[in-house]
Structure 1
Amino acid sequence: MIYFDNAATTPVLPEVKNFLCKALDIYGNPSSVHTLGKFARSEIETARKTIANYLKVKPENIIFNSCATEGNNTIIRTILNNKDRGNVVLSAIEHKSVKEAIKFWANKSIEIREIKVNKNGVIDLEHLYHLIDSNTILVCVMYVSNEFGTIQPIQEIAKICSDKGVPLLTDAVQAIGKIPIELKNISYATFSGHKFHAIKGSGFLYISDEANYEPLIVGGGQENGKRSGTENVVGILSLAKALEIIVSNFSRYQEQLKKLRDLFENLLLEALPDAQIVGKDAERSPSISSVIMPKFFGAEIVNKLSEKGIYCSTGSACLSGEYEPNKHMLKMGFSQEKALRMVRFSFGLLNKEEEVIECIERIKEIYRLN
């Protein structure tokens, strides 16, 4: 089995698994005043400090939750709740958890404005500048594209938003553990643990000191009243442990991912010269390679590789037996035909070069090149 779908979710690191076997014994309720509760609370606060140190922010700016989707909904609801006018600006290729949350929480009078992107998936900064006006209440741009690996010029975006006095929300799910993160001038950032080798159901939200905030979940008053519900102690500890491991070897891991991606792309283009790497002319995450494959629909390639025990993904969905093109590629200016042929291969810390070579051999079989 070869797993190249790490942008969807990552396997838990072996070191994290071993750590969590012991963490399962921390079963006290962190809100309890007895010794077991106090110990659980202490472990949570230590994890919060670990994450805050990594992001170079204060521990009180970190709120634990279940995932980035919850974080995105929380912030979008905070900004849009009871607003009867204004506009929200977001990238044309923004994650569905942001787009759908805006549609769900926005009053019908709220205008939604999309920032143009180029063929690499990078937003047009000048267009962003002109879209923001005195009625703009929120800007949303993901740090790294989950589909193409494109890294947005987030600090330039943040500067524009700061200068215009508008809060910026960035979904940083595909950035954490892959590239250095800078949160200066960013109001909100959301993260999911299962995207960086921690466990599912664990995530956190960064909120700047100046940013407005209303809890999505109320009741018990946990997380200083910002996110009620008994804390997922094991999940929270997995976040800190995975980050601790990655940060301690960050340069090596980053180089490891880039080496895998570059080997994959070089071998693939050697075998299939008509293939096209999406976003190749932009700064990209070292872990994602999205390819326009010749001859076959992307979903066909995914299915054929899956039959051979190799797992990747596509931005094209099959509905009622009909394939649909990747909508974000259409926004980027690609033809419908090319948008139907995209396949995403995404690499993680547990992948090896031999797996890349094996994958290319299986792709050659599909194209009968062997």
Structure 2
Amino acid sequence: MIATETKTAAGILTLTALRGIGPATAERLAEKFSLLDAIADAEPAKLRSVVSASVAESLHEPTALANAGEKAQRVLDEADRRGIRVLSVFDQDYPAALRSLQDRPPVLFIKGKLPPFRSVACIGTREPSEFGEIVSDRIVETLVAANWAVVSGLAVGVDSLSHQAALRHRGRTIAVMAGGLDGIYPRQNAKLADEILEKDGALVSEQPFGVPPSPRNLVQRDRLQSGLSVATFVIQTDIKGGSMHTVRFTIQQNRLLFAPVPLGRHAAEPKSQGILALTQMPGTQFADAARAEGDYRRILLERFRDQPVAVPLASREDYASMLNLLETRMTGAEQPALSPASSPAQMSML
């Protein structure tokens, strides 16, 4: 195993199985050393330019790389048995959209078919109201008709509605999982996961087999949903909902952010308050409401100081401009402004 190329899935899995080596360090080692045995034979000084002295010392332990290689091979054998591809960040098939991220996962587990980078994320509360149910279907139908694949997280609520709407309208959809692909969470969505695969979609995770969807992994999963996508659509959420993690990643990754505007009785619903904040508050006010810190707060204050954080979708009349924005972002051209919002009488429901 130690003769394995470091930039392959086997090489990266071996490196990350070593004590003290995380994803970023594994990538740095792969960039510096072409083979695993080159790491084992490297002078301590050369290793210390990449890792700490203690990690450099552990890499010279006689069985360290061999044991890590055996663990990596077991993962690859299990993936092969389950029909799952394991991609290294250095592989040509690794999604280009994720490769551009600073905190990209060095290894991805993929079951099914990833579409080209023409994807959008549709996310939201686990407890959608009638507004969330209706709007998710209408927005996804419009996106699918324009040949956009839908990315979501297979959770109950808006995630499930978005996947189901994509399938119902004969589109493709990708479920980004917070745990290993050897288990579906929640179990009630196992049938939906099967249907996603049957209809040319994909299940994706950065987590190895046996890893549960812990709260931390759920947040980490959110950055991949936005990272795989040109834009994120927040269908419905509270101001403190878990969807706000995906909002943060979307903004930090410089992706587009859209949200449908609830009106009338729908605007008074608790699960609409996050949408109203995203579409009505300027970035300075939203930063306080979202308790944004660090780089996230800086971006909100600089880029969205006097404008809403999300592009508001007030009626179906906004869909054409929405699609234009998406196409413009795909080509990298200057973004046109969204058309003015329709009058309240026209937009009781999108």
Using CA pairs below 8 Å that are at least 6 residues apart, which structure has the higher relative contact order? Answer: 1
Normalising by the residue count of structure 2, what TM-score does the alignment of the two structures yield? Answer: 0.34
Normalising by the residue count of structure 1, what TM-score does the alignment of the two structures yield? Answer: 0.33
Which one has the bigger helix percentage? 2
